Chain A
Amino acid sequence: MKRSVSLNVNGSPRTVECEPRALLVHVLRDELDLTGTHIGCDTSQCGACTVLIDGKAVKSCTVLAVQAEGSAITTIEGLSEDGKLHPLQEAFWKNHGLQCGFCTPGMILTAFDLLGGNPNPTDAEIREGIEGNYCRCTGYQNIVAAIRDAAAAMR
């Protein structure tokens, strides 16, 4: 039997009908058509599905949609404001912090949370902070550079 779940997604109230077993990531992608959130594994390792739930980075494949009832969710589609890229998006672009782009939305949202708690991280802290997000293309070096750069812009 389907359940009704109410969420605030990227600033707009949304109500969806979904199975109790539905994962948040599936609801975001399949019901709300927010396909910027990706699925790269089935064991919560890769972090491609990372979104912000009430401001904290969470792997949306580890959360049942019903558990997110009443939460405010930010996906990559909701990060830029008034058509202006968020400093993290800008920094990933400028520093070539992405290649195929599949891990990028999750990586950016994890970095958003990281910088929220530590506005001036060392490279080691950045690497530690994003170790739950896998990138197979960049070797991470330019991702670290991008986050360092964004941190400076956001301070």
Chain B
Amino acid sequence: MATLFGSGIRRREDPRLITGAATYTDDVKLHGMLYAAVLRSTYAHARLKKVDARAAKKAPGVVAVYTGADIQDKVNPVPCAWNVPDCDLKTPPHPLLAVDRVRYAGDGIAMVVADSRAAARDGMDLIDVDYEPSDVVVDPEKATQKGAPQLHDEVPSNIAFTWKVAGGDTGKAFKEAEAKVSLRIRQNRLLPTAIEPRAAVASYNKATGALTLWATSQNPHIHRFLCSVMLNIPEHHIRVISPEVGGGFGSKIPVYADEALVSYASIDLGKPVKWTEDRSENYKATIHGRDHVEFVELCGKKDGTVTGLRTKVYAALGAYASTAGPGVPTILHGLMYSGAYTIPNIDGTVYGVYTNTTPVDAYRGAGRPEATYLLERLMDRYAAEIGMDPVEVRRKNLIPADAFPYTVATGITYDSGNYQAALDKALGMLDYKAFRKEQAAARKKGRYLGVGVTTYTEICGLGPSQVAGAVGFGGGLYDSAIVRVYPTGVVRVYIGGKPHGQGEETTFAQIVADEFGLPVENVEVVAGDTESTPQGWGTYGSRTTAVCGSAVKVAAQRVKEKAKKVAAHLLEANEDDLEWKDEKFVVRGSPDQAKTFGDVAVMANVAWNLPEGVEPGLEATAFFDPSNFVYPFGTHICTVEVDTETGVVDILRYIAVDDCGPQINPMIVEGQVHGGVIQGVGEAMQEVAVYDEDGQLLTGTMMDYAVPKASQMPELEVAHTTTPTDVNPLGVKGVGETGTIASVPTVVNAVCDALAPLGVTHIDKPLTPARVWQAIQEAKGGAS
């Protein structure tokens, strides 16, 4: 049998998905089920003078209405679970339902429970809320300025934390620099937009005290843990089932009030309760991403050597600190300031800022896209400043391939890399020199072509649990697997991760089938139910294959060690004389003396004849904690043509060369790259969540928020290099977020390169035609 590792086999999860047989949370239907709707604040900042639910309670079909005042003594606030140390972090409580004050348009005020979805909505409209509006601030920089409206009494200047990262002597580097560049960067706020909105179904059994919660979760064990905290229910009485999940991109990591509210209602009413948000509600009540105002500077020598980076970042947290909110613009952002380069002096300051907006948390890439973007924009600006080719500036500063493991100025150590190989491969795919000639010729004819090149690395495969603890993450970052072999030799693998599109039901089956010499169909991977799966920490941070996949590998190896003992006993041979050959345990030198894995599985499970001291059964559990994060890397290149009359950008070619180590399933890896890049192209070209100054979300529906459409997006050219890591037994790195991390600066650099002859030096993304046109006009005005 050919080895499955490295084979692009079809996905095992697809048959149910392409036939409509999959069960997503909103598909769950229970006897006697009630439906909930959450009334949300229409004001971004207000005192609640009155919340009168009397009429709603009498409405047809309405069973109960809960307000903040009703439940405040019975439940605990939504916890922030990433308490980043050494930055004076303040996380004021976020009540499940507002009691006296609302702080963003979308803050929950009351929940209506009724016998139908429609009745719950109708009842919600009858709740009478009297608001006393307060002043509003939505911009994270302005929120820190004198006289800005204050969101929380205990948080002066709305500054939730001041986090610093430093290495080397940046002051000296800038003083001695031969050249320096600076930029003010606006990282656009984004709406994650998993196509499946969030939903939750709670069912409480009064007799046993057991709560079952179906939820759209990327990490059911974290949901169990934090729901236990919110609801005062012991963790072992909560079962969280995260069934099919229709995309997450980070937005289904956090634990939200809604999940605790349906649980509370189910406990109170003794009936199952379902809540499903609609898209407009999702855009207000589900976390957002990015939203930084950044002041960044880079300095160095005229030969292209970069010597220093300095940042001052205002990162919006929204109105409250979400589950992982404080960790995203700090640990996952500032520690990556060195990027793929040997920048000896780095000095970063990040202010986490409360604003009257929806909470901000992890969105695909989570902090690393912002770091990569500011660095790669600065590299292009620096190249222009010293009159050097941007590729050559990068090449001069890339960490050498023989320098790994390499510790950067921010203090973290990169595992492995060969950045030059990926760069050369990508440049070759484009024929960079030929494109530069084409560009020069086109410019003479009044056509504006541009090229953007990004050499990146990123931190993922989160991560060692010891580091998680040190950086204030409220949990572990190991992961787990149980490999259980049935008497007939088929296998189930229960994992702590919760894939929701990434394909680990297939890739993990490939790992196990390889180990046991079984057809992949004989291995089934189970995820998402805390009742059957071992403690794990979920799917995010491109960690599931690197960490949970390694647990699968280790558990399978443990099973195989036991199987070998049994095989040796059955063959009446010494264990040391057995070898694994042609998918069998074979007595060395006697090929007819052999036992298949299936032969052993039967005997181990019936236990009629086992070696002395060997227990019946054939299964193993493994908890895998990696020794370091993993650092995938690569080079992305984009070429564009800009119509200077209209500001329309046409992406001509997009080349992605990524290195995530050995690939278990290249087809799935390529799919991850495609999706990641296009999400980044969306961020670069068209996506932005816009608030007006009153804190109303103007992009509050899919009519207004520009989710990328098929007709707008380019065809991608994808290739790879392969550099293994030694921090896990598979040698693999993550690839779920690389595309988003690399593509945003690649596209923006290409457009800025195209418009450089006109004097355009920077355009804040998204590069809508209006913004590009405006930048051209301003550059023209400046020149005249």
Contacts and interface: CB of A to CB of B under 8 A. Distances in A.
B274 to A, nearest CB: 11
A126 B711 CA distance: 8
A36 B23 CA distance: 8
Interface string A93-126: 1101011111111001000000000000001001
Given A43-B703, A100-B246, A138 B19 contact: no
B391 interface: no
A151 interface: no
A97 B180 CA distance: 46
Find the residue from A34, A77, A92, A141 having the highest chain B CB count within 10 A.
A141
A115 to B, nearest CB: 15
A58 B281 CA distance: 24
B494 to A, nearest CB: 21
B657 interface: no
B17 interface: yes
Contact of A41 (B22, B29, B702): B702
A137 B710 contact: no
B2 interface: no
Contacts of B11: 93, 96
Contact of A139 (B195, B246, B702, B713): B713
Contacts of B679: 136, 139
A33 B676 CA distance: 34
Given A21-B118, A93-B11, A141-B715, A36 B21 contact: yes
A42 interface: yes
B279 interface: yes
A101 B710 contact: no
B193 to A, nearest CB: 6
A128 to B, nearest CB: 5
A107 to B, nearest CB: 9
Nearest to A143: B710
A56 to B, nearest CB: 19
Contacts of B17: 98, 101, 104
Contact of B710 (A80, A100, A131): A131
Among A21, A75, A131, the most chain B Cβ lie within 10 Å of the Cβ of A131
A131 B197 CA distance: 20
Interface centre among A33, A39, A99, A131 (most CB of B within 10 A): A99
| Residue in A26, A43, A100, A142 with the greatest tally of chain B CB atoms within 10 Å | A100
Contact of A96 (B23, B26, B668, B676): B668
Contact of B13 (A79, A101, A133): A101
A99 B502 contact: yes
Most chain A CB neighbours (cut-off 10 Å) among B503, B708, B709: B709
B123 to A, nearest CB: 15
B20 A36 contact: yes
B726 to A, nearest CB: 29
Contacts of B23: 35
A12 B22 CA distance: 22
Contacts of B524: none
Contact of B14 (A35, A38, A101): A101
A135 B675 CA distance: 9
A101 B671 contact: no
A67 interface: no
B22 A101 contact: yes
A94 B10 CA distance: 6
A22 B16 CA distance: 28
A50 interface: no
B501 A93 contact: no
Contacts of B715: 123, 141, 144
Given A93-B14, A144-B710, 5 more contacts: A45-B701, A93-B11, A99-B675, A102-B24, A140-B708
9 contacts: A35-B23, A39-B278, A41-B278, A92-B18, A99-B675, A100-B500, A105-B18, A141-B716, A144-B710
For the complex of A and B, the 4 pairs showing the least CB-CB separation, nearest first, are A36-B20, A102-B246, A101-B17, A139-B678
